[in-house]
Amino acid sequence: MSYQAPIKEQQFVLETIACINDFAVFPAFENATPDVVDAILSEAGKFSAGVFAPLNKVGDRHGATWSDGVVTLPEGFQAAYKQYVDNGWGSLGADTVHGGQGLPFVLATAVQEQMTSANMAFSLCSMLTLGAIEALQVHASDEQKKLYLTKLVTGEWTGTMNLTEPQAGSDVGALRTKAEAQADGTYRINGSKIYITWGEHDCAENIIHLVLARLPDAPPGTKGISLFIVPKFIVNSDSTIGARNDVRCVSIEHKLGIHASPTCTMSFGDNHACIGYLVGAEGAGMRAMFTMMNHARINVGLQGVAIAERAMQGAVLYAKDRVQSAKFGGPGREAVRIIEHVDVRRMLMILRSTTEAIRALTYLNAACVDRAHAETDPDKQKAAHGLADLLTPVTKAYATDMGVEMSALAIQVFGGMGYVEETGAAQHYRDARIAPIYEGTNGIQALDLIGRKLPMDGGVHWRNLFSDVRSFTNSLPKSGDLGLLKPYLEDALEALNTATVWMVGNDGPDANDSAAGASLYLRMFGITMGGWLLAKQAVAAQDKLAAAEGDQSFLKAKIITARFFCEQILPQAVAMLGPVTRGDSLMMALSDEQFLVA
């Protein structure tokens, strides 16, 4: 299936939700003018569709291969990655001091969406590198920045994140990889890591691993963890590549999807000669790694958007072409294209409206990150930072859940052909399934939302957000298409507010009641935000229609899509209030033995 970047849709969301046209007033983003934004989206769309997309099925069929520590990507990947580097796509959001273009994260997010839709497995390489860049920009020493960042920003080198060990998955504090200080200021790293995305490959000349490890006298748990730069090849003081470091890929995983993304088991210090360089202070590793993880969690949420978009495009094209059966209750017996069947239309509208909702949520989250960095007013900066933190677990979990559900729904549109690999629909489902798991499972995101993000700063951030939603809803007219949105938004917000007050009121012995409803609460949050953001776009579309501006067909479709989501999907949030607040008693009622009865 071909891919076409949804540039008009992306531009509209960037303007109406991210408010990107206001960014050029910030000194940090002075180059983010509308013409530059449009040109980047257009060229990135061509690159994604023309270079990355044709390799998607190739990568799925042939995958990455391992032999004696060497990982080889399928034919065409090296050349495509070189084009990615030569065109400067990895440098969009990086600081100009290190060779980046200094453009907003939200614009880089839109470009990353295109590349992920085109080829999710391939895009993971750049996603991990972008996270490494973010961590080093914030936490590395000036010397380390000078040594590593320029090559990472260009993409000549790639980056990884090394947290997980066999006994230390979600519980990062249980890791056992060791680091011992040396007289020359370096450290000797010894241990192994699993599930390391793009930990070894043949597309870049060096790989910069960011590795969590524990010093001999470090306290237990996460407070005893430090972060280290462990390059595949040692980098000389003049930034040239030196000797091979004592780090090896000992195997790669055979996975359900993302076959062209090598998921590596990495071994550090087999010969007791793995050199690492401390990033930041000893024991401050988790703080540095969370900088990288929070960046990555938004980009993983973006994977849900990207796969939903790609799956939807395939389903729409198939539905326009496939002829099957007469219309239900129609006057004749002549078969019609399945897009004319109302139940297929129902599925396509769910695909369209949900994809647009999670895109708006993800772009808003990314724009808040930009404002947290660019605002000079301390109060505005704090508000943007707080909203970005609040939305991150919602973006990661809700968007990736929807990526899986939408790719499954797209298969249903295809019918039996969706279950056949040659159509490509099944690949999207297989690729999407990892996103709710990595970078912190979605259950952990839900616990993070209720346990850390809601109480943050006394709850001011969720209260301010809900106040904004309420003010917007109150401003809607009482009639017309926009007026029809109002009661659904009011009901959903009231239910979400009630659930939130209940969540933050549970502590001590009642905390498990909140945990029992956390995942459903996060979905309730995501659906409500999606309805609000689509309604905001509908208002903007109505204003443009009234002024006879823009593509009239596109603008009318935005209003219809918002109405569909609010009338058909948003009521789910109201229905979730009871289950969210019902507590854990039924979930814990069965004994362990009762789950499986012989």
Exposure string of 57-92, with b = 16+ CB inside 10 Å and e = fewer, is bbbbebbbebeeeebbbbeebeebbeebbeeebbbb
All residues at 6 or more sequence positions from 299 whose CB lies less than 8 Å from its CB, including other chains? 109, 112, 127, 130, 131
Structure tokens at 481: 């298409």
Q: Which helix (H) or strand (E) holds 62?
A: helix 56-62
The Cβ-side half-sphere exposure at 423, using a 13 Å CA radius, reads 24
Structure tokens at 49: 């569709």
Q: Give the length of the chain.
A: 598
Structure tokens at 326: 């007469």
Which of 123, 131, 138, 134 has its CA nearest to residue 53? 123
Q: Which residues pair with 227 in a beta bridge?
A: 212, 279
Angle at 85 (CA atoms; ends 80, 89), nearest 5 degrees: 100
In angstroms, what CA-CA distances link 536 with 13, 309, 546?
Answer: 10, 20, 16
The Cβ-side half-sphere exposure at 236, using a 13 Å CA radius, reads 5
| 272: amino acid identity, one letter | H
User: In this structure, what is the dihedral angle of CA atoms 249, 254, 255, 259, given to the nearest 10 degrees?
Assistant: 70
* DSSP class of 168: B
Give the separation between CA 238 and CA 273, rounded to whole angstroms: 22
Q: One of 9, 165, 356, 439 is an active-site residue; which one?
A: 439
| Contacts of 163-171 spanning 24+ positions with Cβ under 8 A | 163/193, 163/212, 163/289, 164/193, 164/194, 164/195, 164/196, 165/191, 165/192, 165/193, 165/194, 166/192, 166/194, 170/440, 170/441, 170/444
In angstroms, what CA-CA distances link 146 with 92, 303, 318?
Answer: 18, 31, 50
- Torsions phi, psi for 62 (to 5 deg): -100, -35
Which of 407, 448, 464 has its CA nearest to residue 430? 407
Give the separation between CA 207 and CA 128, rounded to whole angstroms: 11
Asked if 253 is an active-site residue, the reply is: no
Exposure string of 213-232, with b = 16+ CB inside 10 Å and e = fewer, is bbbeebeeebebbbbbbbbb
Give the separation between CA 460 and CA 451, rounded to whole angstroms: 15
Structure tokens at 210: 């960011």
Catalytic residues: 439
